[in-house]
Chain A
Amino acid sequence: MEVIQKYNEDELVMMLQRQDQQAFSYLYDNYAPALNGVIFRLVSDKTLSEDILQEVFVKIWNNFSSYDKSKGRLFTWMMNLTRNLTIDTLRSKGYKKQNKISGDENSVNNLQDTNSGMDKFDAMGIRKQLSNLKPDQRIVIDLAYFNGFTQDEIAKEIGIPLGTVKTRMRTAILELRKMLQYT
């Protein structure tokens, strides 16, 4: 599915700072599936996931002035906001922080195959590529990126010294980048 990219990131940010609802609609269409996927990985519940997604977007709308372009990409900011809100929700609802990432090595393939509407690439193809990622590499990425584990927590979780989390992370992401180049 090909969707015409209407705004570049700078335009989008500028319009969102002016509380432009069209831009917000565009933002939702382009990022909601990815953010919903992130939430789902943490909560494993479709309804709860979508409830949190609502909160996320309302928060994005209301707090957009706090986004600082110089500190990173828009997606990174939304991603962190999403992850933090999800974790806060799980804690406030009395959920225990998950000690394991869901499904371990099968987690990538187990995700339901949905028509995500992501236009720029073939999600299925990439997932297939990602399945070649070594489990210990993927775990590092997932724990950090999706689960929001601190470096300390990651070190404990996978049983490595704190100082090597950075290098393990670097290796894993380099591997990821290499794979994505072939898609």
Chain B
Amino acid sequence: METQDIISSGLLELYAAGIASEKESLDVQQWVAQYPEVAAELKEITSSMETYANAHAITPSAGVKEKIFSRINTAENGRIIPINSLPVPGVKVINTNASWKMAAAASVALLIGSIALNIITYNKYNDADRDLLVARQTVTSLEEKNAIMEAGMSVVQNKYSVPVSLKGLEASPDAAAKIFWMQNTGEVFIDPSNLPETPAGKQYQLWGIVDGKPVDGGMILTSKKGDKFRIQKMKTFGKVEAFAVTLETEKGNPSPQGPMFVMGKM
């Protein structure tokens, strides 16, 4: 068959339209392989048929493509993909399947849960820490108070301690104080708890009367608001006739200047 006869037969057109019989198709394929002229003619025909089809193209809805891709990716799950059908290097195929999405979602949920738990735990830890601090402070202050009371008690209970009551005088008839004088050492302690509050800028001073003259016995801390209101150690007197307390300016004076509040003889 001459190439021109082949071309004009109409068989190429039938083939291009996809309606050639099996025998006709085989013939066409053979001619195409054999004659470049025929191949060129078939190419012309098919491309004009493509153009014809394209002229009637209707763009499908946007969702169709996604559906197709989701189907081909779902179908691939669990399927063994032959080595030669793996994607070519350099071209990245992102294939996210549902189980990974689930895993990712679960991870995020766990992370959020963990963070929340950490915050709660941290807050609890802070609370506990604060409580502990408060308890420690309480213990410390109780221990301090206890130490003070023990010290006071040891003074009172000391077998050498001689108590001396100081009675209120004209300036303050209700005032009172107690001296504990240690016979063996001459140490002097005073319990100022029944002295009135000192006015601002003033402080009580203890005097020991020795040979009829007042000798400085030290400054007394009497602030009831503070923590120093307690039985306190004063200056030592080896020999003393009486004790007196006067209200002096702060830091005291070498000889009594202010009014006398309490006094007691040995």
Contact = CB atoms under 8 A, between A and B. Distances in A.
B34 interface: no
B55 A80 contact: no
A95 interface: no
Contacts of A79: 18, 49, 53
B85 A54 contact: no
Interface stretch (B8-16, B187-195, B241-249): B8-16
Given A40-B58, A145-B52, A177 B18 contact: no
Interface stretch (B86-94, B103-111, B115-123, B197-205): B86-94
B29 A54 contact: no
A19 B13 contact: no
B59 A33 contact: yes
B86 to A, nearest CB: 7
Contact of A58 (B25, B55, B72): B72
A66 interface: no
Contacts of B19: 144, 148-151, 154
Contacts of B15: 72
Contacts of A41: 56
Interface residues of B, number: 50
Chain A binding surface SS class:
helix
A140 B72 CA distance: 36
A41 B239 CA distance: 133
A36 B59 contact: yes
A18 B86 contact: yes
Interface in B179-233: none
B11 A32 contact: no
A19 B48 contact: no
Interface residues of A, number: 72
Contacts of A72: 15, 46
Interface string A139-183: 001001110111100100000000001111110110011001000
A173 B71 contact: no
B55 A22 contact: no
A122 B25 CA distance: 32
A172 B13 CA distance: 9
Given A36-B58, A36-B60, A169 B17 contact: yes
Interface in B3-58: 8-11, 13-19, 21, 25, 29, 33, 43-46, 48-58
B192 to A, nearest CB: 95
Q: Which of B11, B43, B56 has the most CB of A within 10 A?
A: B56
A97 interface: no
Given A144-B18, A151-B19, A116 B57 contact: yes
B169 to A, nearest CB: 109
A2 to B, nearest CB: 15
B85 A19 contact: yes
Contacts of B98: none
A73 B47 CA distance: 9
B75 interface: yes
B101 interface: no
Interface in B112-142: none
21 contacts: A20-B88, A22-B91, A32-B65, A36-B57, A36-B59, A37-B58, A49-B60, A50-B60, A58-B71, A83-B18, A108-B56, A114-B57, A118-B57, A121-B51, A123-B56, A145-B18, A150-B19, A151-B19, A168-B10, A170-B8, A173-B49
Q: Which 6 A-B pairs have the closest CB atoms?
A: A166-B10, A170-B10, A33-B57, A116-B57, A144-B17, A37-B56
Interface of A: 15, 17-22, 24-25, 28-29, 32-38, 40-41, 46, 49-50, 53-54, 57-58, 61-62, 70-73, 75-76, 79-80, 83, 108, 111-112, 114-118, 120-121, 123, 126-127, 130, 141, 144-146, 148-151, 154, 165-170, 172-173, 176-177, 180
